[in-house]
Amino acid sequence: MLWTDPLAPFFSHMPRVAAFMPAVDVTVSEGDLVLTLDLPGLTADDVSIELLDGHLTVRGERKRPQPSDGSSWVHAERPFGAFERRIAVPKGVDADRITASMDNGVLSLIVPKPERLKPKTIGIASATDQAQLEPATV
């Protein structure tokens, strides 16, 4: 007798899921870029981070759990597989100042902006505060 998936009527209209690709959010402040990646089920040991040629690359693999003995997959939608996210960073970023932390499957990277990109406030002196210019002597 041929076995059929009893859940097929519920899921036949759903599209196939692509390979795992973590979502990335990027925020910018005066001094930093902050990148946040969702990596559910992964730990810091499952991920590598590299800065090369102006790109920050995050690599890893989300592995599909093996069903327990006597079990087999009937339906699977959660994406798994190797991934690589490559994000351009500003020229001059100091790799030694980049920090990374992982909490509950969320990877946060703080990339300090290079000095040339940080805003510099320039004060404006009043006329009475300005130094008097002396005429040049010849």
Lookup: tokens for 64? 């599909």
Residue with structure tokens 């005066």? 30
Lookup: tokens for 126? 């009043």
Predicted confidence (pLDDT) at residue 12 exceeds the cutoff of 90:
no
Lookup: tokens for 22? 């973590």
Identify the band that residue 117 occupies on the pLDDT scale cut at 50, 70 and 90: low
Taking the whole predicted model, whether its pTM rises above 0.85 is answered as no
User: In terms of Cα–Cα distance, which of 102, 99, 86 is closest to 46?
Assistant: 102
> Could you report the per-residue pLDDT of 46-100, keeping only the tens digit for each?
999 999 999 999 999 999 888 888 888 888 888 999 999 999 998 888 899 999 9
Per cent of the chain over pLDDT 90 is: 47
Q: Domain 17-116, CATH 3.40.640.10 — does that match?
A: no
Report, as an integer, the average pLDDT of 99-126: 87
| pLDDT, greater one: 6 or 112 | 112
What pLDDT score does 43 carry?
94
